[in-house]
């Protein structure tokens, strides 16, 4: 028994060392020599896309989130006759968007520096630039990720938090990825931009009691109670400033105006109430916590060195 325990401890230590080593290989200057115009090209593409449609900023940020319980661009792989990827997961099907913007920027990068900038790095930088384009904070993106050659539908279904999650489930889902409760509350602040579909907030506006009654009624007009009716109708996650990246999301929670069940769970008499109140009253505290958390998330288990590949087209393996 002692030998088995020792082996287990050794395996944990080795795994931690490998994860730390992979993260250490990432660098903010990774493309300075190999593709010096990479970051400016990405920013120009994002700025143009967000200027054309403000909601696109939220969609591009969401791609990074939904890829980054892995951060290897596996989310971008299209389904084929012989391959079912992450795009069909419950949290992704019919709701993830922005692939055209990613493909356009990737094509520009390939023309500049063939097979140099990974799709995983592209998503990480796009997320930062999308937040900036909508008035939010900036941060230094560490680079050097490589792209996966596979994707897992089952892992996407089990790993991505659902809008029906309660606080305990949310904390556990993020903890499983090395992100603490403060990280979780800060990253949830991304819901200060973007929209959600009726099917994802229907139960909250009709069945929950932790919601402002007038707010619920206003949403019901565009989200019928019966499933299958108006499922894809949209409502802003932040009704106050839906196209500005600010801390209004948290003030909405204080007024019981969280759109998703999982949103309002962050301020519902639980352990994260104080964090929500802090972020609601202190924009700088939210910005600092958000940038810290998204950098931490972006460095989760990256493929580096000779692992994976640099895809020529983000939607398929080479």
Tell me which H or E stretch contains 292: helix 283-298
Residues 255 and 153 in one domain: no
172 lies in the same domain as 102: no
CA distances from 285 to 2, 33, 139, 141, 276 (A): 46, 35, 14, 20, 11
Examine the domain organization and report whether 221 and 286 are in the same domain. yes
Q: Are residues 150 and 199 in the same domain?
A: no
The CATH number given to whatever domain includes residue 289 is: 1.10.420.10
Question: Is 105 in the same domain as 178?
Answer: no
86 assigned ligand-binding residue: yes
Alpha-carbon distance of 245 to 126, in angstroms, equals 15
Residue 161 annotated in ligand binding: yes
Residue 126 exposed, middle or buried by CB count within 10 Å (0-12, 13-18, 19+): buried
CB atoms within 10 A of CB 262: 23
The answer to whether 189 and 250 have CB atoms below 8 angstroms apart is yes
Distance CA 305, CA 123 (A): 18
CA angle, residues 165, 169, 174, in degrees to nearest 5: 110
Residues 285 and 246 in one domain: yes
Was 72 annotated as part of a binding site? yes
Question: Is 3 part of a structural domain of the chain?
Answer: no
Q: Is residue 5 part of a domain?
A: no
Residue 196 lies in a domain: yes
pLDDT of residue 12: 41
Task: Let me know whether 148 and 176 are in one domain.
Answer: no
According to the annotation, is 53 in a ligand binding site?
Answer: no
Which pLDDT score is estimated for 17?
A: 40
Task: Indicate if 154 and 201 belong to the same structural domain.
Answer: no
- Indicate whether 188 and 218 sit together in one domain: yes
Any binding-site annotation on 236?
no
Q: In terms of domains, do 203 and 155 share one? A: no
**One of 64, 66, 204, 261 is an active-site residue; which one?**
66
Residue 245 sits in which domain range? 167-296
Show pLDDT as tens, one digit a residue, over the chain (318 residues).
Answer: 443 443 333 334 434 444 444 445 899 999 999 999 999 999 999 999 999 999 999 999 999 999 976 799 999 999 877 777 899 888 898 899 999 999 999 999 999 999 999 999 999 999 999 999 999 999 999 999 999 999 888 888 888 999 999 999 999 999 999 999 999 999 999 999 999 999 999 999 999 999 999 999 999 999 999 999 999 999 999 999 999 999 999 999 999 999 999 999 999 999 999 999 999 999 999 999 999 999 999 998 899 999 999 999 999 999
Residue 108 lies in a domain: yes
Is 246 annotated in a binding site? The answer is yes
Residue 3: the pLDDT is 38
Whether residue 28 is contained in a domain is answered as no
Which residues have CB under 8 Å from 144's CB, separation 6+? 25, 26, 27, 30, 121, 302, 304
Same-domain check for residues 62 and 100: yes
270: left (phi over 0), alpha (psi -120 to 50) or beta: beta
Rounded Cα distance between 272 and 263, Å, is 11
Q: Is residue 308 part of a domain?
A: no
Q: What is the CA radius of gyration of the chain?
A: 20
Domains identified in the chain, total number: 2
> Does 74 count as an annotated binding residue?
yes
Both 173 and 262 in one domain: the answer is yes
Per DSSP, what are the bridge partners of residue 80? 83
- The reported pTM is 0.90
71: left (phi over 0), alpha (psi -120 to 50) or beta: left
Q: What pLDDT is attached to residue 13?
A: 40
Give how far the C-alpha of residue 173 lies from the chain's centroid of Cα atoms, to the nearest Å.
Answer: 13
66 is a catalytic site residue: yes
Please check if 238 is assigned to a binding site. Answer: yes
The number of beta carbons lying within 10 Å of the beta carbon of residue 200 is 21
């Amino acid at each position: 028994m002692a030998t088995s325990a020792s082996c287990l401890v050794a395996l944990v230590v080795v795994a931690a060392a490998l994860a730390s080593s992979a993260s250490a290989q990432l660098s903010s200057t990774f493309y300075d020599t190999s593709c010096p115009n990479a970051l400016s090209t990405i920013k120009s593409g994002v700025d143009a896309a967000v200027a054309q449609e403000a909601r696109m900023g939220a969609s591009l940020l969401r791609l990074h989130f939904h890829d980054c319980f892995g951060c290897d661009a596996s989310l971008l792989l299209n389904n084929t006759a012989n391959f079912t990827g992450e795009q069909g997961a419950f949290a992704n099907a019919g709701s993830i968007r922005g692939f055209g913007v990613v493909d356009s920027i990737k094509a520009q990068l390939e023309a500049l520096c063939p097979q140099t900038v990974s799709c995983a790095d592209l998503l990480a930088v796009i997320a930062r630039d999308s937040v900036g384009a909508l008035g939010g904070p900036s941060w230094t993106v560490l680079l050097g990720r490589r792209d996966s050659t596979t994707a897992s539908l089952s892992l996407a279904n089990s790993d991505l938090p659902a809008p029906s999650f309660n606080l305990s489930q949310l904390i556990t889902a993020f903890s499983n990825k090395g992100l603490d409760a403060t990280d979780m509350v800060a990253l949830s602040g991304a819901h200060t931009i973007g929209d959600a579909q009726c099917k994802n907030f229907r139960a909250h506006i009709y069945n929950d009691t932790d919601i402002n009654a007038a707010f619920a009624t206003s949403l019901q007009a565009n989200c019928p109670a019966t499933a299958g009716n108006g499922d894809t109708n949209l409502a802003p996650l932040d009704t106050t400033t839906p196209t500005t990246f600010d801390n209004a999301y948290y003030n909405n929670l204080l007024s019981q105006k969280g759109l998703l069940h999982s949103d309002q769970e962050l301020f519902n008499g639980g352990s994260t109430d104080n964090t929500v109140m802090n972020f609601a009253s202190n924009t700088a505290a939210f910005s600092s916590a958000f940038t810290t958390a998204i950098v931490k998330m972006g460095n989760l288990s990256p493929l580096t060195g000779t692992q994976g590949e640099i895809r020529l087209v983000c939607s398929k393996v080479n």
